[in-house]
Chain A
Amino acid sequence: MPRSTPQDILAGQLDALLRTAYRLANNHEDAEELVQETCFRLLRKRQALAKHPNPRGYIFASLYNLAKDRGRRASSAPQIVSLPNLGEEYIPAGPVKVDLPDIVANSLDEEVEAALEEMGTEYRTALLLREVEGFSYAEIAEALGIPPGTVRSRLARARSFAAARLEEYARKRGYLGESNKDSADPPRRETS
């Protein structure tokens, strides 16, 4: 069987790159540009890509690093993160008691997106690569430039954070009635 060329490998990852880039850049144009630049960079290093034992990790490392560089450069202009205006159309139906899986299942898309955005790039990327793109821990480790053990803790924190945030939004929206009281702290940053 002929080996895939670097172009083939890249082309096969384009949709995943675009999906992830969109969550990193938060807008369509920047995401497209980010992926394009990632591809150019990788094609310059096509031999390294062709030989790499973990090509998906390698490709996404390029995307992640570029997105981080851009984020750093853009950070002089403060990013305004506004949460969706919750609860205006909601008519409370009296106190309800709701389980966490139901809260997550019944969150609005905007709330899921807001929770992702709030958790910070390093957590968001890990979570999306795992859940949406089906990456192994080794691939996430390569993509994020961290040890596999850190992938494990990062995913755990990201999930707990997302669940707690979604619960908080649900409470603000009136979905929970008076029970569910805990609020979420952003995931702790690992000290390195």
Chain B
Amino acid sequence: MTARPPCPEWEEQLSALHDHGGKPAAALEKHLEECPACRQALAAHKTLGMRLRTLRTPAVAESREAILAELEKPGRGRQRFASVLIAAAAMVLLAALYSLLVNAPADASGRDFGGYFEIASLQEQESFESGDPSALEQWCAEQLGFEPRLPSWPWADWKSARLCSIDGEKVAVFRLMADGQYASLFIHPPMAEPPGMPTRQQPYISEQGGYAAVCWQEDGFEYILVSSVQQAGLFGRLAEI
């Protein structure tokens, strides 16, 4: 007896029969009666399943405890997301500065935030241009299903709104001009979890990227304002509010 793979035309049906059990379709049943290779293949599927289930994997229990402990640290997941947002916001801003708004290179990434960030999925989606903040809010409400409230900054000259998807989360990004420089304001929808981001952090100044970011929460939204480092004045104004 020679071990052979099953007849190619029955390969899928044999595998499905192994998975779903029951009585084989009449044609397959007939073929099985006549074909030892397919009978063997079917029996081998069963044996393979058992082999796979009994393969050893190292110390699952230990890892489980370590991960559960890590997950229970309060705010852990959120801090990471805030960092991802800042890094992504910075990328969009930088891209805007260099007129490369579409498909910002995924590599200006958040390395200087000292962690590992996944911003490969940063995608520019639709955008809407208007100088009227309430029109921008309205547009976002239609696209996102929530209405981000733009801050009433007399010194801000609003330019546009766009939607961004970061790691599967939808985020509204507003461009504005202040003191003749562009900045980006990210607004993230409210989340069910308790707030984890400190209010009005000191601006984060990047070491390499040439930008600064500040995060805060208001009315249940998370705001992140990113600007080029030269615009220290902008952050000064925020502190005054």
Interface residues of A (CB under 8 A from B): 7, 10-11, 14-15, 18-19, 22-23, 28, 31-32, 35-37, 39-41, 43-48, 66, 69, 97-101, 103-105, 107, 109, 112-113, 116, 127-128, 130-132, 137, 152-153, 155-157, 159-160, 162-164, 166-167, 176, 179-182, 184
Contacts and interface: CB of A to CB of B under 8 A. Distances in A.
Nearest to A7: B71
A69 B3 contact: no
Nearest to B15: A156
A74 to B, nearest CB: 13
A127 B5 contact: no
Contact of B16 (A15, A41, A156, A180): A156
A156 B3 contact: no
B26 interface: no
Contacts of B66: 32
A167 to B, nearest CB: 5
A107 B54 CA distance: 13
Contact of A28 (B40, B58, B67): B58
B49 interface: yes
Given A14-B67, A39-B67, A152-B15, A180 B41 contact: no
A107 B51 contact: yes
Contact of B57 (A10, A22, A46, A97): A22
Contacts of B46: 101
Contacts of A137: 19
Contacts of B40: 99-101
Nearest to A116: B52
Given A7-B71, A18-B63, A109-B55, A40 B76 contact: yes
Interface of B: 1-6, 11-12, 14-16, 18-19, 40-41, 43-53, 55-61, 63-64, 66-68, 70-71, 76-78, 80-81, 118, 120, 167-169, 191-193
Contact of B44 (A7, A66, A113, A163): A163
A31 B66 CA distance: 12
Given A43-B77, A132-B53, A104 B47 contact: yes
B55 A112 contact: yes
A159 B45 contact: yes
Given A100-B44, A127-B52, A159-B45, 5 more contacts: A15-B60, A43-B77, A101-B47, A163-B5, A181-B2
B176 to A, nearest CB: 27
A44 B52 contact: no
B52 A128 contact: yes
B34 to A, nearest CB: 17
Contacts of A180: 2-3
A22 B62 CA distance: 13
A182 B3 contact: yes
B5 to A, nearest CB: 5
B5 A160 contact: yes
Given A44-B77, A155-B19, A156-B12, A162 B3 contact: no
Contacts of A164: 5
A105 B63 contact: no
> B51, B68, B70 — which one has the most chain A CB atoms within 10 A of its CB?
B51
Nearest to B36: A99
